[in-house]
Structure 1
Amino acid sequence: MNKFYSTILLLFITNIAFSQVSNNTHKMEITNLVQESFDELWAKFNAEKIEQFYTKDFLLLENGEIWNNDSIVNYIEKAKLKTPKPNRINKIEVIDIKIKDKTAWIAYQNYATISVDNKIIRKAHWLESATAILTENGWKLDMLHSTRVKNE
């Protein structure tokens, strides 16, 4: 009988340990998804990668405006025409991530430093939250809510 309880206990502990590793892996994937989406789409103006990061019905809610993938692509295409091209460095500081089944949300601080010819022309800070879903191709953002934080 002790062998039976020992086996059950071992299976229970293994399951808990696996769940924590899996949850931590998902949290890292979601953090990377947010960071890489800003780096590729908003810093490199790489509109071709939008489907890598966002679902087809993605919404961005920013300071009272509603954007979708089409409006984001239009913004990126116009931004690519500007000269000189600005350099944008993004930094994400995660506040919290919650995961339940195949859905997740993340809250984070988003900082951007924008420079031209190695001179900083603007620093920006947003408080943001995003939701993501687990697809057959990995995590994708389906909504992002952004509030500008006033510079001190």
Structure 2
Amino acid sequence: MKTKNLLLMVGLGLLFSCQDMKKNDDPKVLEQLIISYFDGVKDKDLDKMNSVTTEDFVLFENGSVWNNDSLYNFLNQLPPYVATFSFNNIHVNIGSEYGNINYFNHMDMVLNDTIEDNYDWIESASFKKVEGEWKMNFLHSTVRQ
């Protein structure tokens, strides 16, 4: 009888300890946050940019330090533009509370309905859960050679 009780207790202990293990979220969640962030950049939508980032979000862009407000102010100084972003070579690492992503970012842009240009960057971002929701807290962008 003691052996049965011991086995039952060990089995229940293993069962409950497995319940405590947190499952990592789907990596697509972080990819979608990057897309949403750049939709905000494309649309000059500060609310959209803020909705997917932490309050202390920081962007390192070619030697400059930005936040959403400073980026938004810069975007509003540009002439009217239409931008399309595309992402490839995406690598995601995600845990239960923290994650990171690195990727190539390509932008096609038309300024003043006439000037066409494009840009390529190598970017990496880190994410953390805030009140159970994924948010980007850091983005690093470097011009791709």
* TM-score over 0.5 for the pair: yes
Structure 1, unpaired ranges of 5+:
none
What is the RMSD of the two structures over their aligned residues, measured on CA atoms?
2.7
Residue 127 of structure 2 is matched in structure 1 by 132
User: How many angstroms does 1:117 deviate by?
Assistant: 7.0
Q: Which runs of 4+ in 1 moved over 6 A?
A: none
* Structure that is richer in helix per residue: 1
Q: C-alpha offsets along residues 7-26 of structure 1, whole Å, 9 cap, x if unaligned? A: 99xx7xx98xx94xx53x2x
In 2: Cα distance, 1:93 partner to 1:36 partner: 15
Q: Percent identity?
A: 27
Residue 28 of structure 2 is matched in structure 1 by 28
Residue 86 of structure 1 is matched in structure 2 by 81
Instruction: Report the secondary structure of 1:105's partner residue.
Output: strand
Where does 1:2-151 land on structure 2 (aligned, <5 Å)?
19=23, 22-23=24-25, 25=26, 27-40=27-40, 42-79=41-78, 82=79, 85-116=80-111, 121-136=116-131, 138-150=133-145
Amino acid at match of 1:29: V
Q: Aligned in 2, Cα 1:117/1:137: closer, same or farther, shift over 3 Å? A: farther
**Superposition TM-score, scaled by structure 1 size:** 0.73
**Superposition TM-score, scaled by structure 2 size:** 0.77
- Work out the number of aligned pairs and report it: 131
Amino acid at match of 2:31: T
Q: Aligned in 2, Cα 1:28/1:70: closer, same or farther, shift over 3 Å? A: same
